[in-house]
Structure 1
Amino acid sequence: MQLPIALVESLRGLPGFDEPAFIDIHQSGAQVTSVRINPHKISEVPFAVAHTPIPWSRYGYYLSQRPSFTFDPLFHAGCYYVQEASSMFLEQALQQTVDLTQPLTILDLCAAPGGKTTHLQSLISANSLLVSNEVIRGRAAVLKDNVIKWGAHNIAVTNNDPAGFSTLPGFFDVMVVDAPCSGSGLFRRDETAIEEWSPGNVALCSQRQQRILADVLPALKEDGVLIYSTCSYSRQEDEDILQWLLTLDMEGIELVTDPQWNITSVKTGNSFGYRFWPYRLKGEGFFMGAFRKKVLSERPEKYRQKTKPLSAKETGVLRSWIRVDGQAFVAFGGRIYAWPENLFEALDRLAGKMKVVYSGVLTGELIRDKLIPDHALALSKRLPAAIAATALSEEDAIRYLQRKDFVLENAQKGWQLATFGGHPLGWMNVLPNRINNYYPKELRILKEQAPEI
């Protein structure tokens, strides 16, 4: 791997930078594989390979080798997320700045493909709302799929420019901005990113990061917390942005790190940053800083309800499909969503101001007083205990995920869950002479599994 000379030169003098070690780690070809489990679905790593905990995350683990995630049914069931280890430091920033036992409204602004969103959801209380935004429509669709897979009911996925959130003044307790950047911290994982790197691109990214932050900060409450991060090594996108935030009446927050983690702490004026050098720890290049907003936010508009919940009769049809306790059911375009009752006002405000592409749990579509269940319902944690289900072998589970034909002996007829290892994969309708597979076509496994040798 040939690193850009201009990059190496620009890093000289930065805290913790060791030029020979930096070059060696990038030329070594070393790869780090890490995952984070979904605590709402499993409690331990579901692999036979050796694994060790990531020290700054209670749910993160390093794997000694990379399994075939594509052909693991539990991956498709949302039991874990494959995520870069350094970025899991978000957990420390959140734990040390807010009371996670309290109801919080959190914005993950640049959220696709969903690593930080699913991590945040694992940490917050059930009474909290997480708004997960992605400005690029195609990436927002991927984000929505990963949110559905995770199975949570207190997330809304939005597709908006950061400036759009100014219509929700003082709405959020916490903002996480993992800003678009020049990507130098991920060169080991993606060598093609080297070709796109240049000093000019770093400067453009720094300007864009400032615009994004300036546009979205009006939506943060007074005393609210901003967590800013990049996967760039460049000072212009890291320490310089922290210094600039201080000019916006933001107050730096110092985080506590264990010396054994080998994270490089950086103090610049009254701001505090944390650098992850891959030759000092087991992870990729990463940078993070935390702030508290000290300036008074505008007062939000008086709340006027716009979304009408379903009638009691319509809700009654859903009782055999979803636990209706604590849920309000709303319809958008003929599709029924379940919203937690305690989050109704927040979600209604959001739906009235922003482009919401997914919220709560998409239950399904009502047709002639019958529900056609959605894939999201199958992976949610709102299913009643009595829902019909059939356990599949690993071979049949893979065929189900590929949307190929398979045979079930003595299977119960009708709508039911296809499960593997006790975890739902999706819906199927077992008929007398065939199985109708309702796994979404766009999610199916396209590859063929290599035969074992």
Structure 2
Amino acid sequence: MSLPPNILRAFSNAPGFDEEAFCRVHDTGEQVSSVRINPAKFSDPAALSFELDRRIPWTAYGYYLASRPLYTFEPLLHAGAFYVQEASSMFLEQALQQTADLSRPLRVLDLSAAPGGKSTHIQSLLHPESILVSNEVIKSRAAILEENMIKWGGSNVVVTNNDPRDFSGLQGYFDVIVVDAPCSGSGMFRRDPDSVAGWSHDLVALCSQRQQRILADIWPALKEDGVLIYSTCSYSVEEDEELADWVLETFEVSSLPLLTDSNWNIVQSFSEKHQAAGYRFYPDKLMGEGFYLTAFKKKSAGSGPPRKGGRGKWEQVSRQVRDGLKHWMKETDFSLISLHENILALPPLMAEELALLQSLYIRNAGVTIGKWAGKDLVPDHAFALSQLTATGIPVLQLERAEALNYLRKEEIKTGTGQMGWHMVQYMGHTLGWIKVLQNRSNNYYPKEWRILKQV
């Protein structure tokens, strides 16, 4: 892929930019594949059907791959055992560990979270009593975000579909806000060569203005001494270092420098006006795509803590339902509430937090257990992929070919005489539910998630 001269000239002022090496790596067409393991579900990466090459050095859970598999046909992906994510963006782990106290409960917002790479990563790093709000402004992308967060299986996540300005009413609510900002996308040129034709100086200027507006909208929601982590997949100084200068000029903040290993070959930059510390990733210097990250600490208190929430728009489940769920769920101290006919399991204190978040459009919160019908539960897919299912629930173990048929929502021949609900598993990892009847079985894998392709 040959990059146009006007693009190369536009990047010439970017710290660490080496035009010759940059062009050479883009000309090769080389692709880097990487995945991140879900530590709550998966402890043996060697069990994967594809070969792992080596660890990504700035994260505990990321691996480079020797070659790119057909991820769609990996049942463990659908079970939430791993996530396919670009390696450079996993540097978020360093930013969180070095700027926030992850040993205590935190309120964290991932503002532009779809499709879910950073949110699943954040969830793996947080204290279990933390609350992660994963937001996406675009409705169709919010659906993808919700799907991936359900597969990941964390119970302390709230998925929202809101504009950044909708969070301004949550004065001083969040300890950490992560803004992976919409950008001109030049850092993905190697992965998406077609995006080169859509790049322009006007697009960079438009994105810079949008980034400023997003940060201004979200700023009131960050608490005093809270941390803002800002990132892009752009090489343009206008969206990176100049944006960092704008933050320092507009808000009462301090730049938060991070420690990096010189062997990682990350380029540390400093903004021209105020010397804000930033971190640049170039594909000619390391195994990863273009990426920029900077972090800030908020100095001013703003308008004070968030207002108290009213009563939630939900009800506590009845004693009959709670007793009926005992053979379905592990013994936990989770709150059980009924919302829109669904039973939700919420970690301690989340119901109180949801009351504060009622001004937002919430797509999903906690774990949806299912619907109570008559005297029994119709279990939800999210419940199967959570960590809350009881050990006594019948399990149907499938081989790879059968597991793929299940994920296509085809009928599965069970060969079991036990009737009723079963969890379907592959290599010990749950894929969903099946209900065994007298002469057939019903596949309850979500229709909208099913695999449509054949191997």
1:317 CA displacement: 2.4
Q: Which residue of 2 aligns with 1:145?
A: 147
Q: Which residue of 1 aligns with 2:8?
A: 8
Q: Which residue of 2 aligns with 1:327?
A: 334
Q: Which residue of 1 aligns with 2:43?
A: 43
Quick check: 1:257 aligned with 2:260? yes
Counterpart residue identity of residue 82, structure 1: V
Q: Which residue of 2 aligns with 1:280?
A: 285
* Cα 1:30/1:302, change in 2 over 3 Å: same
Alignment of 1:235-314 (within 5 A): 235-247=237-249, 248-268=251-271, 269-299=274-304, 300-307=306-313, 308-314=315-321
Q: Which residue of 2 aligns with 1:438?
A: 444
Counterpart residue identity of residue 31, structure 1: Q
Q: Which residue of 1 aligns with 2:86?
A: 84
Which of 228, 231, 234 lines up with 1:232 in the alignment?
Answer: 234
What SS does the corresponding residue of 1:399 show, helix, strand or coil?
helix
* Cα 1:291/1:411, change in 2 over 3 Å: farther
Which deviates more, 88-97 or 323-332?
323-332
Give the root-mean-square deviation of aligned CA atoms: 1.2
Q: Which residue of 2 aligns with 1:365?
A: 371
Which segments of 5 or more consecutive residues in structure 1 lack a partner in the other structure?
Answer: none
What SS does the corresponding residue of 1:218 show, helix, strand or coil?
helix
Which of 342, 345, 367 lines up with 1:338 in the alignment?
Answer: 345
Quick check: 1:407 aligned with 2:410? no
Counterpart residue identity of residue 286, structure 2: L
* Cα 1:197/1:128, change in 2 over 3 Å: same
What SS does the corresponding residue of 2:168 show, helix, strand or coil?
helix
2: distance between equivalents of 1:370 and 1:43?
A: 34
Which of 63, 66, 73 lines up with 2:65 in the alignment?
Answer: 63
1:48 CA displacement: 4.3
Alignment of 1:105-116 (within 5 A): 105-116=107-118
1: distance between equivalents of 2:130 and 2:167?
A: 19
1:86 CA displacement: 0.1
What SS does the corresponding residue of 1:167 show, helix, strand or coil?
coil
1:99 CA displacement: 1.1
1:371 CA displacement: 1.5
Given that 1:251 and 1:270 are in contact with CA atoms closer than 8 Å, whether structure 2 keeps it comes out as no
2: distance between equivalents of 1:384 and 1:366?
A: 17
Which of 175, 178, 181 lines up with 1:179 in the alignment?
Answer: 181
Q: Which residue of 1 aligns with 2:394?
A: 388
1:411 CA displacement: 4.7
2: distance between equivalents of 1:326 and 1:394?
A: 36
2: distance between equivalents of 1:309 and 1:408?
A: 36
Counterpart residue identity of residue 118, structure 1: T
TM-score (norm 2): 0.96
Given that 1:379 and 1:426 are in contact with CA atoms closer than 8 Å, whether structure 2 keeps it comes out as yes
Q: What per-residue deviation string (whole Å, max 9, x for no partner) do you get for residues 192-244 of structure 1?
A: 21121110000000000000000001000000000000000000100011001
1:326 CA displacement: 1.4
1:270 CA displacement: 3.6
1:272 CA displacement: 0.6
Given that 1:37 and 1:44 are in contact with CA atoms closer than 8 Å, whether structure 2 keeps it comes out as no
Q: In the comparison of the two structures, how many residue pairs are matched?
A: 448
Quick check: 1:422 aligned with 2:428? yes
2: distance between equivalents of 1:222 and 1:83?
A: 32
Counterpart residue identity of residue 378, structure 1: A
1:324 CA displacement: 5.1
2: distance between equivalents of 1:244 and 1:397?
A: 51
2: distance between equivalents of 1:103 and 1:305?
A: 23
1:348 CA displacement: 2.2
Given that 2:308 and 2:356 are in contact with CA atoms closer than 8 Å, whether structure 1 keeps it comes out as no
Q: What per-residue deviation string (whole Å, max 9, x for no partner) do you get for residues 60-95 of structure 1?
A: 000011122111111110000000000000000000
Counterpart residue identity of residue 426, structure 2: F
Q: Which residue of 2 aligns with 1:32?
A: 32
Given that 1:390 and 1:411 are in contact with CA atoms closer than 8 Å, whether structure 2 keeps it comes out as no
Q: Which residue of 2 aligns with 1:133?
A: 135
1: distance between equivalents of 2:375 and 2:107?
A: 35
1:388 CA displacement: 1.2
Q: What per-residue deviation string (whole Å, max 9, x for no partner) do you get for residues 123-151 of structure 1?
A: 00100000000000000000000000001
TM-score (norm 1): 0.97
Q: What per-residue deviation string (whole Å, max 9, x for no partner) do you get for residues 398-438 of structure 1?
A: 11111123322235221010100001000000112111000
Which deviates more, 380-389 or 284-293?
380-389
Given that 1:6 and 1:199 are in contact with CA atoms closer than 8 Å, whether structure 2 keeps it comes out as no
Q: What per-residue deviation string (whole Å, max 9, x for no partner) do you get for residues 385-406 of structure 1?
A: 1111111111111111111233
Identity across aligned pairs (percent)? 51
* Cα 1:8/1:314, change in 2 over 3 Å: same
2: distance between equivalents of 1:61 and 1:421?
A: 20
2: distance between equivalents of 1:244 and 1:195?
A: 29
Which deviates more, 404-413 or 388-397?
404-413
2: distance between equivalents of 1:440 and 1:324?
A: 27
Counterpart residue identity of residue 253, structure 1: L
Counterpart residue identity of residue 301, structure 1: R
Counterpart residue identity of residue 353, structure 2: A
2: distance between equivalents of 1:99 and 1:163?
A: 27
What SS does the corresponding residue of 1:70 show, helix, strand or coil?
helix
Given that 2:411 and 2:442 are in contact with CA atoms closer than 8 Å, whether structure 1 keeps it comes out as no
Given that 1:132 and 1:156 are in contact with CA atoms closer than 8 Å, whether structure 2 keeps it comes out as yes
What SS does the corresponding residue of 2:392 show, helix, strand or coil?
coil
Which deviates more, 242-251 or 406-415?
406-415
1:14 CA displacement: 2.2
